[in-house]
Amino acid sequence: LRRKLFEHTGGMFPELVTRADLEIFLPPINGLTIYMVGDVATIPDPDAPLVVRLHDESYDAELFGSHASTGRLWLVYGIEECVRAAQAGGCGLIVYARQEGNALGEVAKFLVHNARAKSQQGSDVRQREEETERVTGAADVRLYELCADPLLWLGISRIHTFVTSSGAKTRAVQAAGIEIIKTVKLPASLLPPSAIAEANFKEERSKGSFSNPVSPLFGSNNGPPVPPAPLLEGPASPRRSGAPAHRFISLTSHAAQFSVSPLPVRWGAAEPASRGAVVATLAHPQHRNAIGTHNGPYAVYRAVGIAKQIIDPSRPLDLQSTEPVVTIGPYPSWYNADAIVALDPWGAMVSAPDSALSAAARARGVSVQPSIAISRFEARMPEIVEALREGRLSADGAILREGGVVSCIKASI
């Protein structure tokens, strides 16, 4: 996996193959946002009503109302179910992941739209699958293996209502040890005629009836894995018991940019002081304990801002009054090194002045920034206004107000 990440990002992250002792990678991919409707304190309670919608971005549908995708329809229906759970004394979650076009990207998605419009495939789901693979090389490359991580971060062990027609998402959540009482899909009455074929296509594909989008994280379904090219021998690196021995390339150029005395970090440690902060600072590269950089794809914008002298990289940030509006965790899932791997569960707590998590970093002059921000949010969507008018929802003055305003807590990761 490390070698493929190195090779297929054009060698952007040489530490993937030069530093086998660094086991945390901050990839340049988009994050996700969790919208929480109702009493956040009830989320880890297995007996409190909990609705979950794992939703993947569909920008043209959600912002501009395109019916080429059912994204906005699913999103609004998920919000309706969240409001009902909150009004019943529980909570509803929309986990909004930025995996546009099944993580193939928007350009690939629109090319598929063009191809479908010109073909004679109609609503045949198998033909739609073949058309997608012909144009993009794959139908779906979303990281289903990681989709349960935000749910584990919230301490969830049981979902009462899972809003999805995706068997892949259902299987991934259950594989993480989370019980699902029932799944509900988008009612046919809410589908315009132009979106029915797309809805059928997604549902059939997710069942694994033909091309199964869920594959092992390592290896391939197309025969035995190809062995990586041999790496140069190097000194033995620290590793977990039972892990294979590592070999790595010796990199001599720009050595000062790489970690020589990484700050300690023990992923899955129960005590914050023992866990330590994830450090990918470029101001103190000798203390880095992670590959990549913070800010995901926005690191490129920051680099250009520094080059244009808009940003002074030496100026310390003032994070006063930015603390989370509600406290989340810690939960037992935070202490399982194999349970949560796609986000830092302590990411909202690291910047507090008295944080034991970042004490070692502060002692060496390293400024630690949060990777999770938790704030309040009010949403108003015309479809929710319509649901109020038609009686599918009713205003309660707190969770859902007259005028269709939904009160939420949002966490950006």
Can the peptide bond before residue 330 be classed as cis, meaning omega within 30 degrees of 0?
yes
Q: Is 344 in contact with 279 (CB distance < 8 Å)?
A: no
Helix (H) or strand (E) holding 85: helix 71-87
Q: Write out the two tokens for 130.
A: 């073949």
Query: By three-state DSSP, how is residue 125 classified?
Result: helix
CB atoms within 10 A of CB 62: 19
Residues 209 and 182 sit within 8 Å (Cβ to Cβ) = no
Q: What 3-state DSSP class applies to 61?
A: helix
134 a catalytic residue? no
Catalytic one of 56, 140, 149, 344: 140
Q: Which of 72, 142, 205, 288 is catalytic?
A: 142
362 contacts 368 by C-beta, under 8 angstroms: yes
Is 39 labeled as catalytic in the residue annotation?
no
Hey, is 26 helix, strand or coil?
strand
Rounded distance, CA 216 to CA 88, Å? 39
Q: How many CB atoms lie within 10 A of CB 370?
A: 21
Count of beta carbons in the 10 Å neighbourhood of residue 306: 13
d(CA 218, CA 221): 10
Q: Just list the catalytic residues.
A: 140, 142
